[in-house]
Amino acid sequence: MGILSNSFLIRFLEYWELFLYSQAALVVTVTSAFRHKLIERGVIPEKIVVVSNGALVDCFCPGNKNSDLCNELGISDRFVVSYIGAHGISQGVETIMEGAEKLQSRTDIVFMFVGEGAMKQSMVVEKNRNGLRNVIMLPSQSKDRMPDLYRASDVCLVPLRDIPLFDTFVPSKMFEIMSCGIPIIGSVRGEAREILENSGSARIISPESVDELVNSIKWMVDNPQKRKKMGASGRIFVCEHYDRTMLAKKYVNYLKRIVK
């Protein structure tokens, strides 16, 4: 991402990284793309396995909006577009704020940001400077409150910046969103895009495209039945492929294989 520029330090850290891989009996990655990258860098393929992120499907499950929560946040009777997660340099959250500015005349739509991160303060400044009354910003919330926050949403956003590095990334939040039966607008590429397309739960747009984001939000507002179908499809997909109980058993089996 260009943040670390000291070439000596980078080489040293990469040497240390590859040394640790060479000494490990098992290397576990969370995406297939990460596994392929390690093989390209010389790590023995037989010792690399993939155990992806997933969701606790019994906890993150579909349900009605919590009316007390919606009243508390002032989002009752409005179409809620949520971004829940780190407000960092990787996510391209500025694009969402620009989308909110373009849609500020739509009093039926509200944007809800939940979380903290390096970009949070600049986003607060942007919100106040432009007087965006259609934006609600919440601090990080406890894990037990997350299912209700997802279910309070009509659509959730899963964005990454337009950087080739992120083609190998799969944001873990998307599994919890799908598990709650909420449709997604995903501004992602690579493996994350492939997963979302296979799930049938998302509209995929170009990373950091404000116009595509705005158009997709409008489409979601105008197509409630299709939106409902997308949410249901995502729930089924996660239960079949990304249930964390199932993934934990897979992890245990890999560990058993190396300690025999």
Q: Domain residues for 37?
A: 7-54+242-259
* 71 and 48 belong to one structural domain: no
At CB < 8 A and 24+ separation, what contacts does 50-54 make?
51/247, 51/250, 51/251, 51/254, 52/170, 52/242, 52/247, 53/170, 53/172, 53/175, 53/242, 53/247, 54/175, 54/238, 54/242, 54/243, 54/244, 54/246, 54/247
* 158 and 222 belong to one structural domain: yes
Average pLDDT over residues 29-44: 94
* 162 and 35 belong to one structural domain: no
* CATH number assigned to the domain comprising residue 112: 3.40.50.2000
What pTM value is reported for the model? 0.91
* 103 and 195 belong to one structural domain: yes
HSE toward the beta carbon, residue 229, CA cutoff 13 A: 6
* 175 and 255 belong to one structural domain: no
* 34 and 157 belong to one structural domain: no
Residue 62 maps to a domain: no
- pLDDT of 6 reads 86
* 94 and 169 belong to one structural domain: yes
Number of independent structural domains in the chain: 2
* 223 and 251 belong to one structural domain: no
Distance CA 159, CA 248 (A): 27
Is residue 45 within 8 A of residue 68, CB to CB? The reply is no
- pLDDT of 5 reads 83
Distance CA 227, CA 230 (A): 5
Residue 30 maps to a domain: yes
Average pLDDT over residues 239-243: 97
* 182 and 124 belong to one structural domain: yes
Banded pLDDT at 235 (limits 50, 70, 90): very high
pLDDT, one tens digit per residue, over 97-147 is 999 999 999 999 999 999 999 999 999 999 999 999 999 999 999 999 999
Banded pLDDT at 71 (limits 50, 70, 90): very high
Q: Which residue, 146, 194, 225, is CA-closest to 31? A: 194
Mean pLDDT of the chain: 95
* 75 and 159 belong to one structural domain: yes
Residue 255 maps to a domain: yes
Tell me the CA end-to-end span of the chain in Å, nearest whole number: 41
* 89 and 13 belong to one structural domain: no
Residue 40 maps to a domain: yes
* 172 and 101 belong to one structural domain: yes
Banded pLDDT at 1 (limits 50, 70, 90): low
Residue 200 maps to a domain: yes
pLDDT, one tens digit per residue, over 173-213 is 999 999 999 999 999 999 999 999 999 999 999 999 999 99
- pLDDT of 236 reads 98
Residue 59 maps to a domain: no
Distance CA 61, CA 31 (A): 24
